[in-house]
Amino acid sequence: MPSPLKCDLCAKPATVHLTQIVNNKVHKVDLCEACAQAKGVTDPSGFSLADLLLKASLNPETPAAPGVRCEQCGFTPVDFKKLGRFGCPACYDTFRSLVEPMLENMHNGVAHTGKVPTRSLERKTLYDRLTKLELDLTEAIRTERYEDAARARDEINQVKQAFNADAQR
Amino acid sequence: MPNAEIPNISSLLGTPSELTDSGSAKTAIVLMTRVRLARNLSGYHFPGWAKPEERERVLASCRASVAATAPMRRCFNFAVADLSDLERQILVERHLISRELSSAKEGAGVVISRDQAFSVMLNEEDHLRIQVLRAGFNLKKAWSAINDLDSQLEEHLDYAFSTTLGYLTACPTNLGTAMRASAMMHLPALVISNQMEKVVRAVNQLGMVVRGLFGEGSDASGSIFQISNQTTLGESEDEIIKRLGSVLQSIVEHELNAREKLLEADSGKLYDKIGRAYGILQNSHLLSSSEAMNLLSLLRLGIDLGVFPEANRSLVDRMLIEAQPGHLQYAQKGELEPGQRDVLRAARLRSEFAAVARPDFRAPAHGGN
Ligand SMILES: [Zn+2]
Ligand SMILES: [Zn+2]
């Protein structure tokens, strides 16, 4: 073990040492007093320690694919290395290959088995369906398939009604 | 739903709360249970990456949805920017907001239920951090209460969710259930008998985290610890709660054993600590925050052991919060130097404990709980 230990976040001598065992793997974090304060080892929420472990596990030497950028928010892997957090929900799709290897060490499994926001998902399904139907409608009109266009229009009305019913619930 | 009255910290302090007014023999070792859920809106940047205008927009829309839920009737609804440093500190000391939120940038807020059992932080690290507190060892009730509130919110808010990764959070360590369940435990006998390190290691091995009350070193915080789950992805909420619950139960048993052993080995030594704590609380003129916490912890142990009547528990629990720097200074209407605070803290505790009857060491009940 190198001594004295240096802070994982800056290079000052570390005075706070944390050891966690997740899935039988030992994770160690060493911090100086200032970083321990700043990084919320003092936060009682229980969220921040895991975050520290994450940062420590991010190897700064791993080359990041520099060209990849989240279309929704402009986030890059370099930003992630710096912040330890993502920019928006869509980042999880964009950076799937970066996220997946991390999860195994971080969690007790790699797939969600808990609560599902059923109502959010229902609304999303309706919304996606509506978007597709509107495209169909435009395309049908453009190619003069008027029966298809009428069918699409009927369906659009149905989906919109479902939306309204949903909003009133 | 807008509030008719202007919510402020004074009215919050003047309202009975789940944390300060529910003490009973049932909360002897597990003072309170807490469950937190992280949630984000789909289609928006996470707060840390969002521009101020976007944060303000998210804040406005979440605030309205949160305030409209049933548990939030007549809620306290604060924008962090409108609160003074002292007021923020009070909310931290009452476990209603995190330190991170208290130092947040524009567009951060918190909605707190009347009884302070529910709070929803807005634009902390995630758009919503929903929390419920329950006095005593009540993980299942806490989960069911927060599950309800979460479902009510989801009626109006589109959550960011992936079928494989679960609730999408700014930090990947919170993915999946995005749930942190925790208990605040009073473990004086394990501390006195130097067993906490062993307990911490064992608990870590089971995938749980142990921390001091406000995160600082183990004995500076009145032998009060928080134990919570470390991982959030791969298990359901019920599984996590069940696993945490059995870890907590076994810690309770270890604490009870440690108390028995201390009494068997040398009850005089333990009673001496409790008796001295009583004497100091009634007579001292200078008390630091950490000394006060430790004295209050010993009094609480005395109550568990039957040395003081049960009726004193709520006083001790209230003082554990009200002797904190933020609460003390707020009561004094201004910020004070640490030295002045110690004078004030001692005076407050002297007057609060003046009426507490002398300890009765004759036939205490063993163990507590
Ligand atoms: Zn540092
Ligand atoms: Zn993104």
Residue B132 lies in a domain: yes
Co-location of A104 and A122 in the same domain = no
Q: What 3-state DSSP class applies to B133?
A: strand
B340 near A CB under 8 A = no
Closest-CA residue in chain B for A117? B154
Query: Could you say which of B154, B176, B198 is where a domain stops?
Result: B176
| Claim to verify: residue B23 and residue B155 sit in the same structural domain | yes
Which of B136, B135, B233 minimizes the C-alpha distance to B180?
B233
The string of pLDDT tens digits covering residues B347-364 is: 999 999 999 999 999 865
Do residue B293 and residue B162 come from a single domain? no
* Same domain, residue pair B170 and B284: no
Provide the shortest C-alpha distance from residue B98 to chain A (in Å): 6
Indicate whether B40 and B161 sit together in one domain.
yes
Residues B149 and B263 in one domain: no
Q: Are residues B25 and B118 in the same domain?
A: yes
Residue B190 in domain: no
Region class of B234: left (phi > 0), else alpha (psi between -120 and 50), else beta: left
What does the pLDDT look like over B114-155, one tens digit per residue?
999 999 999 999 999 999 999 999 999 999 999 999 999 999
Is residue B232 domain-resident? no
Judge if A48 and A8 occupy the same domain. yes
Measured CA to CA, the distance from residue B98 to residue B128 in angstroms comes to 12
Q: Chain B: nearest CA to A79, how far in angstroms?
A: 10
For residues B173 and A29, the answer to whether their CB atoms sit within 8 Å is: no
Indicate whether A8 and A44 sit together in one domain: yes
- For residues B202 and B303, give the distance between their C-alpha atoms in angstroms, rounded to a whole number: 28
In which band, very low, low, confident or very high, does the pLDDT at A165 lie, cut at 50, 70 and 90? confident
The DSSP H or E segment spanning A31 is strand A25-31
Q: Note whether A8 and A51 are same-domain residues.
A: yes
Domain termination site, one of A113, A129, A144: A113
Q: Indicate if A7 and A48 belong to the same structural domain.
A: yes
Contact between chains at B233 and A108 (C-beta distance less than 8 A): yes
Instruction: Kindly list the protein residues that place their beta carbon closer than 5 angstroms to ligand 1, a single-atom ion.
Output: A 7, 9-10, 12, 32, 35
What tokens appear for B201 in the block? 């290691």
Look-up of token digits 């990084």: A39
Is residue B229 in a domain?
no
Domain annotation covers residue B284: yes
Query: A106 with A122, same domain?
Result: no
pLDDT digits (tens, 9 = 90+) for B185-197: 999 999 999 898 8
From A57, A76, A98, the end of a domain falls on: A57
Pairing of strands A16-22, B166-167: unpaired
CA of A84 to the centre of ligand 2 (A): 13
CA angle B293, B294, B299 (to 5 degrees): 95
Long-range CB contacts (within 8 A, 24+) of A68-75: A68/A94, A68/A95, A69/A94, A70/A94, A70/A95, A72/B45, A73/B45, A73/B49, A75/B49
Does residue B50 form part of some domain?
Answer: yes
Residue in B168, B205, B237 closest to A92 by CB: B168
**Position B35 in a domain:** yes
What is the C-alpha radius of gyration for chain B, rounded to an integer number of angstroms? Answer: 21
Q: What is the CATH number of the domain that holds B82?
A: 3.30.590.10
Regarding whether B146 and B284 lie in a shared domain, the answer is no
Q: What is the pLDDT of residues B237-295, one digit of tens each?
A: 999 999 999 999 999 999 999 999 999 999 999 999 999 999 999 999 999 988 999 99
Domain residue limits at A30: 1-57
Give the pLDDT band (50/70/90) at residue B30.
Answer: very high
If asked whether residues A48 and A92 sit together in one domain, one would say no
pLDDT at B146: 97
Domain that holds residue B171: 1-176
**Residue B204 belongs to a domain:** no
Across chain A, mean pLDDT equals 77
Are A1 and A45 part of one and the same domain? yes
Q: For B174-325, list the strands marked E by DSSP.
A: 179-186, 208-212, 224-229
Is B230 an 8 Å CB contact of chain A? Answer: yes
ipTM for the complex? 0.85
Note the residue count of chain B: 369
State the pLDDT at residue B42. Answer: 94
Total structural domains within chain B: 2
Nearest to B159 among A51, A111, A117 (CB): A117
* Total number of domains constituting chain A: 3
Domain co-membership, A44 together with A73: no
pLDDT score at B258: 96
Residue B155 sits in the same domain as residue B293: no
The secondary structure of A80-136 as a DSSP string is HHHHSS-SSTTHHHHTHHHHHHHHHHHSS-SS--S---HHHHHHHHHHHHHHHHHHH
Q: Which tens digits make up the pLDDT trace of A63-78?
A: 445 578 999 999 998 8
Confirm or reject contact between B217 and chain A (CB < 8 A).
no
Assign residue A22 the CATH number of its domain.
3.30.60
- Are residues B99 and A43, on separate chains, in Cβ contact within 8 Å? yes
Q: Do A5 and A46 share a structural domain? A: yes
**Cβ pair B207:A21 closer than 8 A:** yes
For A91, the token pair is 């980042």
- The yes-or-no verdict on residue A17 having pLDDT over 50 is yes
pTM above 0.80, yes or no: yes
Average pLDDT over residues B160-164: 95
Range B20-26 average pLDDT:
75
Q: Which among B130, B148, B176 is the end of a domain?
A: B176
Which residue bears the tokens 């290079």? A11
Residue after which a domain boundary falls, among B157, B176, B195: B176
